[in-house]
Amino acid sequence: MAAGVYKRTGPVLLTGATGYIAGWVLRRLLEEGFTVHAAVRDPGNDEKCGPLEAMAKELPGTLRFFAADLLEEGSYAAAMAGCERVIHTASPFLMRFEDARRELVEPALEGTRNVLKEAMRTETVKRVVITSSCAAVYGDNADIREVPGKAFTEAEWNATSRLDHKPYSYSKTLAEKEAWKLAEGQDRWSLVALNPSLVLGPGIQPMTRSGSFELMRDLGNGTLSMGVPVYPFGAVDVREVAEAHLKASLDESVASGRYILSGHDTDLVELAGILRAEFGDRFALPRRVLPKWLVWLAGPFVDPSLTRAVISRNVGIRIAFDNRRSREILGIRYRPLKDSAVEMFRQMVSAGLVDPLH
């Protein structure tokens, strides 16, 4: 989208500015000429903050870093001071973890509490946008069987994830529920929850722990060279997700509520096929489709989070998302999945994050 679309207000707070999605949100805010209060864990981390600083130098807006941690109460006060708009993206999206409560649930839930309670104390705040997830809409693919229109909508809530079954989805569900509870306890600011499916596309810088990059690395570096099962999910480009954050935070006509962001109903086999068609035999990309029974037998030994319950309730079960609200209210136009996947993989190859076979 062209710059200069939004009326300029005071500074905008962006939490987790070093993140994958936040990088593009930051870029668009700076293109629009906003002053961005970027809350990050460590403003002195040159590897993560340096590329953002360099980007800001080329764009009309102003970037200011603030140190803040999701788990430290009151730590967003300085960054939020004077802001009308708060965009809360910070939360771990990890494919691999050891302690789900400590690494996923606590930062997601405590962080949301911390940021939104700060918004309650900060008189200037009018709108809060949180980066929730489709994971707060549904837990397992099998949940689709209970959905009246056979496509997940914003009316659904994940009721099937737990600490020991899809803990990331559980963390996002608890966090979004907490956000709605806090929003309802006040009337100065309105809340928008954005619910993206799997985000793909190049990063502003690819140095992130985001599960999006981890999955692409697994596809490209041989971890899944034995093959992949038909594991359906939704996918969306990071630039569309960023645009939705701008619209939701800066356009006052956007109603408070939830917005699913998902451009494509796809699966692991299709994603691997798109990459193979473009990158051929240069990488150890998966070639075979693994049958569900084989994944059921071997999956838990290969990846402990791939439990038999996860396999039975997800592999081979098609899902669909109704993205109407995002198109009609946020004005999102979804680009082809191939563009997102190919551009992202190419960036990872250039950055040395996936190794060619020879």
Residue ranges binding ligand NAP (CB under 6 A): 16, 18-22, 40-41, 48, 69-71, 89-93, 107, 131, 133, 172, 196, 198-199, 208-212
The radius of gyration of the chain's CA atoms, rounded to the nearest angstrom, is 20
Least distance to ligand NAP, CB of residue 295, Å:
22
Least distance to ligand NAP, CB of residue 271, Å:
13
Active-site residue 177, yes or no? no
Residue 131 sits at the vertex; the CA angle it makes with 22 and 345, to the nearest 5 degrees, is 50
Contact between residue 154 and residue 137 where contact means Cβ atoms under 8 Å apart: yes
Distances (CA, A) of 331 to 9, 23, 98, 261, 323: 21, 21, 39, 11, 11
Residue 137 CA to residue 145 CA, distance in Å, equals: 14
Residue closer to ligand NAP by CB (options 133, 141) is 133
Contact between residue 337 and residue 266 where contact means Cβ atoms under 8 Å apart: yes
Least distance to ligand NAP, CB of residue 108, Å:
7
Contact between residue 229 and residue 298 where contact means Cβ atoms under 8 Å apart: no
Residue closer to ligand NAP by CB (options 92, 273) is 92
Residue closer to ligand NAP by CB (options 198, 354) is 198
Beta strands in the chain (DSSP E): 12-15, 35-40, 62-67, 85-88, 127-131, 190-196, 198-200, 232-237, 257-261, 264-267
Name the residue number minimizing CB distance to ligand NAP: 19
Least distance to ligand NAP, CB of residue 66, Å:
11
Two tokens at 212? 């999006």
Pairing state of beta strands 12-15 and 35-40?
A: parallel
Pick the catalytic residue from 172, 177, 247, 338.
172
Residue closer to ligand NAP by CB (options 92, 220) is 92
Give the distance, in angstroms, between the CA of residue 226 and the centroid of all CA atoms in the same chain: 28
Least distance to ligand NAP, CB of residue 111, Å:
6
Distances (CA, A) of 78 to 28, 81, 186: 23, 5, 21
Residue closer to ligand NAP by CB (options 122, 212) is 212
Least distance to ligand NAP, CB of residue 41, Å:
4
The β-bridge partners of 128 are: 86, 191
Residue closer to ligand NAP by CB (options 69, 343) is 69
**Which residues neighbour 293 within 8 Å (Cβ) at sequence distance 6 or greater?**
none
Least distance to ligand NAP, CB of residue 212, Å:
4
Residue closer to ligand NAP by CB (options 118, 226) is 118
Amino acid at 166: K
Two tokens at 213? 């990059």
Q: What residues are annotated to the active site?
A: 172
